[in-house]
Homo-oligomer: A and B are copies of this chain.
Amino acid sequence: MSVTIKDVAKKAGVSPSTVSRVLSNNTRISRETSQRVRDVMEELGYHPNIMAKSLVSRTTESICVILPKPAEELFLNMFFMELIRGIVTQANRSGYDVLISSGGSEQEEIEAVSRLLKGKRVDGAILLYSRKDDQVVEFLKNNQFPFVLVGRSEKFPDILSVDNDNVQAAYDATKHLISLGHQRIGFVSGPPNHIVSRDRMKGYVTALEEAGLEKRKEWIVEGEFLQESGYRAMSFFMNLPERPTALVVVDDLVSLGVLRGLYELGYKVPEDLCIVSFNNLSIAELSTPPVSSMDIGIYNLGYTASQALIQSIQHEGERQFQKRHIIPHRLVIRESSLYSPPKKP
């Protein structure tokens, strides 16, 4: 069979508990003994059985990430990959493993989470979305499992979460266009039931009001986080008698649709229409022309989420930590917004 702690103990002429102490870097072990045991471990090719350790220590040193079911949506891929990169990097640095799970339905998700957490396979969970009335959040909260939400929950504002200040971010993006002299600014939004859509809309409206600029219903379009939404929005916008000279777009992928629409209609970016969007995914930089985008620090979002979760696991029951983490945003200006409209008298 495989080498156990007993084999090492026997060979090194010490007791199993001493070997265990060496493993956990217990200070009450002399340098020599420690070294001798380590040598034997090396010699026998010993590797601690993580399962046995978990069973007795009641901690697994691993966390799980729950992917939302519509992992098919493209924009999400890049977003999530970046998030997961941050999560995995931080977790590994803290000595934690990361388990990826995805459910087909919300019910399946709960079953998976239940199996993993109640079955003591993981110590905590990261949720990558903020749906309305999320059952998984409710389940985790009711069972007092450590978890962190990337996004925010309206129902439970006090849970551990990592998010951006999307209102401020949208405000800043809109301000950028205003400072370039734009007076007619439109907004292409995402699904209205997503908190992020509403937050960004709010920031956009606030900036307009503050600058005393005109708000118009027809300059706001709601859609999905998909390219088509941006594409369709263009045939609408460009047929208006008084159309905007600049747009705030809720997501880079939507912007790509906007660009495509404008291209087919024969308009030029940024001369005919300036664009600022959100997330700063790779496609924002790679599109033609490159799109100005609000970088929301996706990697940082994941990194911080992982950090907060592990911290709350390790210091469970102790003092309370910061519940809500806000990741800073930063506007990356590119060609798509580098144009000032001609002044009107």
Chain A residues packing against B (C-beta within 8 Å)? 2, 45, 47-52, 54-55, 60, 62, 67, 71, 74, 77-78, 80-82, 84-85, 88-89, 92, 97-102, 112, 114-116, 118-121, 227, 253, 256, 259-260, 263, 282-283, 286-288
Whole-angstrom distance from the CB of A94 to the nearest CB of chain B?
Answer: 13
Residue of B nearest to A286 (CB): B256
Contact between A85 and B71, CB atoms less than 8 A apart: yes
Pick the contact of A49: B74, B112, B119, B287 (CB < 8 A): B119
Q: Could you pull out 16 A-B pairs where Cβ atoms are within 8 angstroms?
A: A47-B114, A47-B115, A48-B119, A49-B55, A51-B120, A77-B82, A77-B85, A81-B81, A97-B121, A98-B99, A98-B100, A259-B288, A263-B288, A282-B283, A283-B283, A288-B288
Residue of B nearest to A84 (CB): B100
Residue of B nearest to A263 (CB): B288
CA distance A164 to B227 in the complex (A): 29
CA distance A282 to B118 in the complex (A): 38
CA distance A62 to B62 in the complex (A): 13
Chain B residues with CB below 8 A from A55, complex form: 49, 51-52, 55
Chain B residues with CB below 8 A from A74, complex form: 282
CA distance A260 to B335 in the complex (A): 13
Whole-angstrom distance from the CB of A114 to the nearest CB of chain B?
Answer: 7
Chain B residues with CB below 8 A from A256, complex form: 286
